[in-house]
Structure 1
Amino acid sequence: MDDERESLVPDGAVFARTLGTLKRDGSNILLVGSVPTDVHETACQQMLGSTERHSRYRLFVTDSDDRAACSATGDAASERVRTIEYSATETEPAENLAAAGSQPSPAALGIRIVETIDQFAETAGGFEPSELRVCVDSLVPLLEDYDAETVFRLLHIATARVGKARGMGHYHVPLEPDHEAVSLLEPMFDAVVTVRSRNGTAEQQWYLREADTESDWLEL
């Protein structure tokens, strides 16, 4: 096991090059770890990028009842910042909504995400690489209230649109990395970032799926 794990650790140049490709071409990242909220917040802010880059567009998708990281969403009045708030517990089961001719909440949420990104794109006149940043916080309530297929459809819609925009999306799942839900979702993402708190220090470890490479633990 140690030899296998060691073979997954890339040299710095390879890892930096792969991360550069994700930023240039667009990427969707699964952010996992059952840790204090502030650790997820720190990782979240890193993935959103510096607020000094005023050209960036930021979309926050948050469960109003269960947030892992997004306690603040920036300047809500800015045309470059949007927040979609939902509550998975406020909607009826998908089969009831379908019978009534309405869309299940995850489907409607996916449409809202796409429409908001489309509005951003129109305002921007097209995106530069990594100009769009999307935070989805968190997937756990959806996984608790809907079947996996329904959540998969939502993620397929969201990740495809982020990728088309050459944006960077990250999706919080504040669960242990060996949790069944993490294993279920992992194949849909370009990378999995695990966060932890060790001796009071927040750390992250990246796993790049296509390259099948894993980083060392890095301080956030």
Structure 2
Amino acid sequence: MGDVPRDPDSSSRETAQNPDSFAVELMGLKRRGCCVLVTGPVDERVRAAQSRRLFGESETDRQRVLILTERASDFTAQYLPDGIPSAHPSVNILDYTDLIDDMAGTTSPSPPFSPTDASPDTSGSMNGLCAHLCDPICDAIPTDSCCPGELRLGITTLDVLIDTDGLSATRAFVRSIRSDILAVHGMGHFHFPGEPDPELLTALSPLIDIHIELRKTDDVPEHRWHLLRTDHSTGWLRL
């Protein structure tokens, strides 16, 4: 289980009566399909390191879809696992940085997010960047011959979509992609650099199964996992 946290420390909220319950719950999410929100005030190399774990070890059969939504600020950042080059047959890279640069300069400021937009009954609609990106990304998700957990999809950042299209449109975008990911029992992860504000978490939490926080302590990257809609969390673990 190399792409998930191991040995939660003593600050974990695991119960002493069932110390393996976190791992059991996490494996269930992976079998059913799930989506992960990754947040934290860390540099791109740390975010890329988390993606490498989520994309799965090189010796494991995966279908990896990497969506680039920002230009690399650090060219040493490597999102794919060691031993998996960008030309590997398991990898499909969708690079939308040019399109995003072009559209970001022509879009109007995004509308404010209303708390009512977070209601599970609100379908929302996509516009701008979200509408341009959604169909090609969904088309890149294989629809057959996928074993549970085989599909791994990652988006390098959602913040440009939120900045240009707003939270409501971004939420509709994530919902649509989530539907296709779960249809093949895959795992998708979405980065949001920095500390998420309450509005973001309110908007996306109904669509997210796992929230991973990132930080650096004494220059050591760490991650903390929360399995939403359960009481399972880890303490801070070395990444």
Query: What's the TM-score once normalised by structure 1's chain length?
Result: 0.81
Instruction: Give runs of aligned pairs for residues 120-139 of structure 1, distance below 5 A.
Output: 120-121=142-143, 125-139=144-158
SS at the partner of 1:216? coil
Question: In the alignment, is residue 41 of structure 1 matched against residue 48 of structure 2?
Answer: yes
Shift in alpha-carbon separation, 1:67–1:83, aligned structure 2, 3 A: farther
Q: Which residue identity does 2:182 align to in structure 1? A: G
For structure 1, the 5+ residue unaligned runs are 1-5, 96-102
Kindly indicate whether the alpha-carbon contact (under 8 Å) linking 1:139 and 1:172 is maintained by their aligned counterparts in 2: yes
Q: Which residue identity does 2:13 align to in structure 1? A: V
Tell me how far apart the structure 2 counterparts of residues 67 and 49 of structure 1 sit (CA, whole Å): 24
- The match for 1:152 among 163, 171, 174 is 171
SS at the partner of 1:65? coil
Percent of aligned pairs sharing the same letter = 25
Matched with 2:14 is 10
Kindly indicate whether the alpha-carbon contact (under 8 Å) linking 1:31 and 1:171 is maintained by their aligned counterparts in 2: yes
Shift of 1:50: 0.4
Tell me how far apart the structure 2 counterparts of residues 152 and 67 of structure 1 sit (CA, whole Å): 26
Query: What's the TM-score once normalised by structure 2's chain length?
Result: 0.75
SS at the partner of 1:35? coil
Kindly indicate whether the alpha-carbon contact (under 8 Å) linking 2:70 and 2:156 is maintained by their aligned counterparts in 1: no
Matched with 1:189 is 208
Tell me how far apart the structure 1 counterparts of residues 196 and 183 of structure 2 sit (CA, whole Å): 28
Shift of 1:93: 3.2
For these two proteins, the number of residue pairs brought into alignment is 202
Q: Which residue identity does 2:205 align to in structure 1? A: E
For structure 2, the 5+ residue unaligned runs are 1-9, 110-126
> Residues 100-152 of structure 1, C-alpha deviation per residue, up to 9 Å, x if partnerless?
xxx732112111111111xx33xxx4210110000101001111111211111
Matched with 1:106 is 130
Kindly indicate whether the alpha-carbon contact (under 8 Å) linking 1:67 and 1:138 is maintained by their aligned counterparts in 2: no
Kindly indicate whether the alpha-carbon contact (under 8 Å) linking 2:67 and 2:154 is maintained by their aligned counterparts in 1: yes
SS at the partner of 1:16? helix
